[in-house]
Structure 1
Amino acid sequence: MEFKPMNETLANRTARALVDMSLAATPGDYLGAENDLLEKFGISRPTLRQAAKMVERDRLISVRRGTKGGFFAERPDAKDAIQSLTRFLRLRGTNLGNVMQVTRPVFEEAAAAAAKLRTAADIEQLKEFVAAIDRREDSRELIASEVQLAQLIARISGNPVIELVIEIGYSFGLSERDIGLYGDPERRHRSREMQRSLLNAIIIGDADIARLMMQRRSDQFDEWLKSGGASQEIRT
């Protein structure tokens, strides 16, 4: 017997049915045209559209209009998942120092895991990243490269939880571009050298050195934050 929550509206029940259809399919699969689903669920067009908006908000379906339109299965990604989490933390007065305190051990674990699990294709991508390090001279380029580096290491680690935590950490970092973390040329030079040392350790597969290089990066960033804006609260 199917459990139905008390006082559940028809739109909510239809939304649950759309979620079930999406999860039973592969992302991108065609679930049906609007008229098909109206007949399947036996509901009105306004009810279906209200339900579809709920499920679209959670990135579990997409609705496309036009002659080739209809309902399609989707899946949320890490960026979708962190939006509500980061908004909640910002409203609680979280600052970048708080985030780094928690994410630091995750970054270290990611570096060690990446060194153990990297494939031949990963090594080539890492080498390409290293080759481009010295071309990233200004603050904006360096910030972008830090995000790319973290996402690359998180992906190679093979742990979706690590990917999520790292995305949260860098979503805060990108919102704080004015704290002057990379404002000094010497800091930018030091950051590029730390990137190089970390990636080379992952490339050769030395998990201990990769973890140590990540620890040193964290120590350096902590020092810079204390002298350049760590006390500032994250702006909403």
Structure 2
Amino acid sequence: MAIATETLATRTARNLANLSLAADPGTHLGAEDDLLARFGVSRPTLRQAAKLVERDRLISIRRGAQGGYYAERPDARDAIQSLARFMRMKGAHLGHVIQVTRPVSEEAAVAAARHRSATDVEALQAFIATIDARDTPRELIAAEVEMARLISGMSGNPVVELILEIGYSFGLDERGSDLYADPDRRARTRAMQRSLCQAIIDGDADIARLMMRRRSDQFDLWLHLGGIEEKKQA
């Protein structure tokens, strides 16, 4: 009997997920009684199914006068939290992450330069206008993440978005304050941000790739020097 209930709950979860995916995010899918009638299941079965779908961030359940089931969508940051915990358990550090994100970030920069829209150009220009004001390590970390999201979004590839989100949100959040403690490093990072964004704005894919590669090379160097300095101090 328990197996039949689980099978029915799983099937109901799939139907509820499909209902959400067929609607725009934020759409009201119905009150609980509406969905009970729609799926023809018991209240415990619907609630068990709803937990599965809510865990995947495909629905939200609200209480009160405007309550009911609403369509939602997961984003890369939801996946990052689970992936980051797994990688830390495996002993991953920023150097590992950059090794993987390096080729992906170059392709993202190329795609952004080739496929940028007028709206994308405006967003990058607005970002460039904020670069000089971001001088603290934490501000620079936020700027790096913002720029990565802009470029990955412009690439049109959701896998690129996920990988770059891992690279900047996981790595820089852990080592960013140390990585950007030196004022000269922060100044150089801001200059590299400006050059990369300008190449994408200009639609120069070759220069965009070169600028992204130089950034990766610089970060590799800084991480290596940082590791040596830490060993000397130990």
Hey, what does 1:97 align to over in structure 2?
Answer: 95
Instruction: Give the gaps of 5 or more residues in structure 2.
Output: none
SS in 2 for 1:137: coil
Hey, what does 1:208 align to over in structure 2?
Answer: 206
Hey, what does 1:113 align to over in structure 2?
Answer: 111
Q: Using the TM superposition, give the Cα deviation of residue 229 of structure 1 relative to its aligned residue in structure 2, in angstroms.
A: 4.3
Hey, what does 1:11 align to over in structure 2?
Answer: 9
SS in 1 for 2:70: strand
1:147 aligns with 2:148: no
Deviates most, 171-180 or 147-156:
171-180
Give the conservation status (yes or no) of the 8 Å contact 2:108–2:151.
Answer: yes
1:157 aligns with 2:155: yes
Give the conservation status (yes or no) of the 8 Å contact 1:180–1:229.
Answer: no
C-alpha distance in 2 between matches for 1:40 and 1:192: 55
Q: Structure 2-normalised TM-score?
A: 0.89
C-alpha distance in 1 between matches for 2:59 and 2:36: 16
Hey, what does 1:195 align to over in structure 2?
Answer: 193
Greater relative contact order, per chain length (Cα 8 Å cut-off, separation 6+): 1
Say which structure is richer in helix.
Answer: 2
Q: Structure 1-normalised TM-score?
A: 0.89
Hey, what does 1:64 align to over in structure 2?
Answer: 62
Hey, what does 2:131 align to over in structure 1?
Answer: 133
Cα root mean square deviation, aligned: 2.2
Hey, what does 1:220 align to over in structure 2?
Answer: 218
1:167 to 165, 168, 174: 165
Q: Using the TM superposition, give the Cα deviation of residue 178 of structure 1 relative to its aligned residue in structure 2, in angstroms.
A: 6.0
Identity of aligned residues (%): 67
Instruction: Give the gaps of 5 or more residues in structure 1.
Output: none
SS in 2 for 1:214: helix
1:181 to 150, 163, 179: 179
Q: Which runs of 4+ in 1 moved over 4 A?
A: none
Number of residues of Structure 1 aligned to a counterpart in Structure 2: 228
Residues 161, 129 of structure 1: CA spacing in aligned structure 2 closer, same or farther, 3 A cutoff?
A: same
Residues 69, 229 of structure 1: CA spacing in aligned structure 2 closer, same or farther, 3 A cutoff?
A: farther
